[in-house]
Amino acid sequence: MSLVKWTILFAMFSHFEASDVTEFAAVEVPPVQEKGIASWYGDGNWHGETTANGEPFDPSQFTCAHRTLPFDTMVLIENRANRRRVWCRINDRGPYGVHTPEGSWDFIVSSSRNENWRGILDMSIATAQALGTTERGLQSVYLRYWTRAATPSFNIAVVNP
């Protein structure tokens, strides 16, 4: 490398000091809103079927079903066993398995909070793989999301084209 190139490089980087610490903004994580069991749909048996919001189900997308959260709500799911996390979008309703008073499981379509539900979430296989829960089928999770009334502590700038 020529002396001119070295001089230019030195001039470009001479104002940096080794003791400078780069500060990054802290990532705000939503609070834990729900704790419960999450299941996953299976390995693609429902591929192409219509979800509750009208779009075709794609098992390779990070989507999930919840009984009451609004469609397109982004939720952060955390596997309580291994602490892996993944963001997922609500696009369907479920899970619908309930534990009956007799001790068996039954299938019921309802969003009643009074039922003894199997779990709080049904996930696509992509979501389950990211959480490391495909071997177990059912996994204890934390569900985190911001409600519409909550205001995150960051601002997004939008530039009109």
Q: What is the pLDDT of residues 50-103, one digit of tens each?
A: 999 999 999 999 999 998 899 999 999 999 999 999 999 999 988 877 667 776
Q: What is the pLDDT of residues 103-133, one digit of tens each?
A: 666 666 555 656 666 788 999 999 999 999 9
> Any idea of the CA torsion for 59, 146, 79, 47, to the nearest 10 degrees?
-10
Instruction: Reply yes or no on whether the pLDDT at 25 is more than 90.
Output: no
Per-domain residue ranges of the chain: 33-144
122/92 Cα distance (integer angstroms):
9
Q: CATH for 33-144?
A: 2.40.40.10
